[in-house]
Amino acid sequence: MKRIYLAATLVALAVTAFLALYVTPPRENQGFQAVRLLYLHVPCAWLAYLAFGVTALASILWLIPRTRNTTWDLLAGASAEIGVVFTALMLAVGSLWGKPTWGTWWEWDARLTTTAILFFLYLGYLALRRTGATSAERGTRCAIAALIAACDIPIVHFSVTWWQTLHQQGTVFNPNLDVKVNGSMALTLVLSVLAFTMLYGYLLIDRFQLAQLEEGREERELQLAIAERVRAEEVVPA
Partner 1 sequence: MSQNWGYVVAGYALTTGTLVAYAAWIKLRTRRLKRLLSDEGRD
In the complex, the residues that contact partner 1 under the rule CB under 8 A are 17, 21, 26, 31-34, 36-37, 40, 44, 85, 88-89, 92-93, 96-97, 99-100, 199, 202-203, 206-207, 209-210, 213-214, 216-217, 220
CA-closest candidate to residue 16, choices 143, 185, 223: 185
Cα 98 → chain centroid: 21
CB contact set of 117 (below 8 Å; sequence gap of 6+): 152
Q: What is the dihedral of CA 80, 82, 83, 85, to 10 degrees?
A: 130
Could you tell me the sign of the dihedral formed by the alpha carbons of 48, 91, 190, 173, in that order? positive
Q: What is the dihedral of CA 48, 54, 60, 66, to 10 degrees?
A: -170
**Closest approach of partner 1 to the CB of residue 88, in Å:** 8
**Closest approach of partner 1 to the CB of residue 102, in Å:** 12
Q: What are phi and psi of 109, to 5 degrees?
A: -85, 160
Q: What angle do CA 194, 53, 219 make, to 5 degrees?
A: 110
CA-closest candidate to residue 129, choices 84, 181, 185: 84
N-to-C CA span, the chain: 58
